[in-house]
Amino acid sequence: MAKVMTAKEVTKKVFNNEEFFILDVRNESDFNDWKIEGKNFEYLNVPYFDLLDGVEPILDKIPADKELLVVCAKEGSSVMVADMLEEAGREASYLQGGMKAWSEHLEPVKVGDLKDGGEMYQFVRIGKGCLSYMVISNGEAAIVDATRMTDVFTDFAAEKNAEIKHVFDTHLHADHISGGRKIAEKTGASYWLPPKDAEEVTFEYNRLEDGNEVMIGSTKITIQAVYSPGHTIGSTSFVVDDQYLLSGDILFIDSIGRPDLAGKAGDWAGDLRETLYKRYKELSSELIVMPAHFMIIDELNEDGSVSEKLGTLFAKNHGLNIKDEGEFRKLVSENLPPQPNAYQEIRETNMGKVSPDEEKQREMEIGPNRCAVR
């Protein structure tokens, strides 16, 4: 019998840059669109239906000296192929829950201490490229850009003996379903949204506007909203504890946010440039940028977190170094990946207009993150 491997165990291999071999038995198009990524991972993609007669034809393509994981969409096919490999004399594991589980795994990483004794955590959604945050201070917590797997956040806060007081979304998300409102309803916390992104929402919320300051705990831990339109008209950044810049989908480590997900690339390119080249330029270059997404595995730090000093990004991020405005507009309107899967349905879910069941939500989110300009 083949062994089972969890998404958490695979995440540790990604973080540790381990050598690893993945046999992905999904269809070629699904594999090419989205796969488990690691800096030292090797891959073989052979659809399950090509292996029904046995795994012998592919044995010489699988190295005997590397740990082997079989992956499929939901687990079932990978169990069968892994068992066939075991019968053929190869040690193999299968991914528990398949790519469905990979898409939903969140790995909390402590990214720093706050000045008055609090802590900052980043939740890395490794299979989707989403990044969420929790600020903890003096028994209270605030969450930023939570995903729909809300138990991860509420359980983590409980482990830390922290009461969730505030939940924020930096913007109306289009690539994943927000868990912010659900967490607020469950815990009694205040739910904050930028009003310019919330004109069509069907629920009550706190207006996240320029100059807001929100206390977390009884210490001087503050979250200050920095209005920074561009990715969406209401996109808002946060400066936390004068140390961290939570940039939402405006600025990433290796790229910048796309301004087209509401069909306004031409209109919003100027807003995006103004935010990045003027508003962010006025901030301290020592701020540590922590975005809402990462695009490629190379953006992960050694501990698995995703962050970089603002000054370093102004020196190295190509999107921050385009002097000609016309060239910048061309980059952000023409150099775009495909739209996220079901992005309009996801926006409507985050507005409260539709309430798909859990399996439908899962289907809507499947696939890679596509929030950045390439």
Active-site residue list: 72
Q: Which of 238, 214, 223, 220 is nearest to 118 (CA)?
A: 220
Integer Rg of the chain from CA: 21
Between the CA of residue 22 and those of 5, 7, 56, 92, 217, what are the distances in Å? 12, 13, 17, 10, 45
Tokens 């696939």 found at: 367
How far apart (Å, rounded) are the C-alpha atoms in residues 252 and 224? Answer: 20
CB of 309 closer than 8 Å to CB of 286? yes
How far apart (Å, rounded) are the C-alpha atoms in residues 237 and 280? Answer: 10
Between the CA of residue 104 and those of 30, 52, 182, what are the distances in Å? 17, 29, 17
